[in-house]
Amino acid sequence: MKFDLKVVRGEDIGSLSLEASDVLQAQAQAEAQGYSVLTVHAAAVRSGFSPFRRSSFSLLLFSQELLSLLDSGLSLVESMEALTEKEHHAETRAVLQQVMAALYEGLPLSAALERTPAFFPPLYVAMIRASERTGDMVHALARHVTYQSQIDAVRKKIVTASIYPVLLMVVGGLVMLFLLGYVVPRFSTIYESSGASLPWMSQMLLVWGRLMQQYGGQVMLAFGVAVGLAGYALSRPAARKQLMDWVWRLPAFGETLRIYQLARFYRTLGMLLNGGIPLVTGMQMVALLLQPLLRESLKEVEQEVREGKPLSQSMELHGMTTPVALRMLRVGERTGRMGEMMERIGTFYDDEIARAVDWFTRLLEPLLMVVIGLVIGVVVTLMYMPIFELAGSVQ
């Protein structure tokens, strides 16, 4: 977003407009240009603003481009200068300029990235810091690119698999709203004027029709308010936690979620171990990737590892592993290749999650179609039942 700053350089006081992610980044950019900042405030928002606008900075793209330049023989500063010069998007260019300013001050890349935590998460900064100690930044970036590509691939599979079920529910819901809000009220008027006796279920449906006919606006307003309140409740951390606790208790679905979280945990921890991060430090860094219950278990594992217990034994004791993962962890302990084994565990369970998602969507899609068809069929049958009875009495 854009910030307006009142700045001073020497005896001159002026104003400056900068693209930045937050106030601290805007102030840092101005100071890097030699200004002393007096005040900072967000610029007025123009048309086209959306509160859900996402940052245009792509960490994966940045890593891929930096990896290519370093691998081709350019120095770090030359690579960053090339990335900054070719960038046309204002926000991304502002981030790269701030990193460049820190590098010109003599800071290492990890410290430069640490100044913009909104774009470079702690895991990424720690990986870069470890690679600076070992002099292996190219391989560290390659590992991160591979890791992020695999995580994105799993996420895309889940999103793609959920599109059709969501579309079915939306279309089915719209059809139901049309029937209950438009068709049923008109049928209720016809049946009331005929004076015929109706089955009990049809009478209940026509009561709803009269309600919609008389108070349709209020009913739709109440429905909209209920949907809004539900959306607001789901945006609150406490409500989301309760919902996730309930989902995790579902027999098959909860186990799939647990395996998904463990796969991401193993893959991330394996990447950090291969990058030179100590085991206990790595576990502390990846704790936030886990659901609260697993996070508490990880704390117990961390404490036992500090006391000298084998990692595989502690993970098994606190439910942080599976039979396959346990065997691979033991192999990693015997061979000293724990990071590699953890990444293999992540890959193994990513494939299992992909199969579970495929199976779930193949089962859910026909079930949704059957349920939506039954509900719509029941509504239509109840609307036409008096006509069927009238036709039978005429015969």
When mean pLDDT is compared across 11-15, 183-187, 243-247, 308-312, the lowest value belongs to 11-15
**CATH code reported for the domain at 159-395:** 1.20.81.30
What the block records as the tokens of 316 is 């098994």
Mean pLDDT of the residues in the chain: 78
For 268, the token pair is 């991330």
Who contacts 126 (Cβ-Cβ below 8 Å, separation ≥6)? 110, 272, 275, 277, 281, 285
**pLDDT tier for residue 198 given thresholds of 50, 70 and 90:** low
Q: Which of 5-14, 49-58, 83-92, 199-208 has the highest mean pLDDT?
A: 83-92
Write down the pLDDT at residue 52.
40
Residue 34 pLDDT exceeds 60: yes
Spacing of C-alpha 323 from chain mean position: 28
d(CA 345, CA 216) in angstroms, rounded, equals 56
**d(Cα 192, Cα 76) in Å, to the nearest integer?**
81
- Report whether 302 contacts 283 (CB < 8 A): yes
Q: How many CA atoms lie within 13 A of 383 on its CB side?
A: 19
Q: What is the pTM of this model?
A: 0.59
Is the pLDDT at 338 greater than 60, yes or no? yes
Count of CB atoms situated within 10 Å of the CB of 33: 13
- For residue 221, count other CB atoms closer than 10 A to its CB: 11
Separation CA 31–CA 105 (nearest Å): 12
CA–CA dist 46, 221 (Å, integer) = 30
Rounded CA-CA distance 60/87 in Å is: 15
Residue 223 CB coordination number (10 Å):
12
* Residue (of 345, 350, 321) closest to 332 by Cα position: 345
* 122 — pLDDT class (breaks 50, 70, 90): confident
* Kind plus residue range of the DSSP H or E element containing 19: strand 12-19
Kindly report which listed range (111-120, 158-167, 236-245, 295-304) carries the lowest average pLDDT score: 236-245
- Cβ proximity of 376 and 384 under 8 Å: no
DSSP type of residue 310 = -
Please give the backbone phi and psi of residue 4, each rounded to the nearest 5 degrees, phi first. -100, 125
Q: What are the tens digits of pLDDT across the range 201-237? A: 667 777 777 777 677 778 778 878 888 888 888 777 7
274-316 tens-digit pLDDT:
877 888 888 888 887 787 778 888 889 989 998 888 888 998 8
**Topology of 59-149 in CATH?**
Receptor-associated Protein (1.20.81)
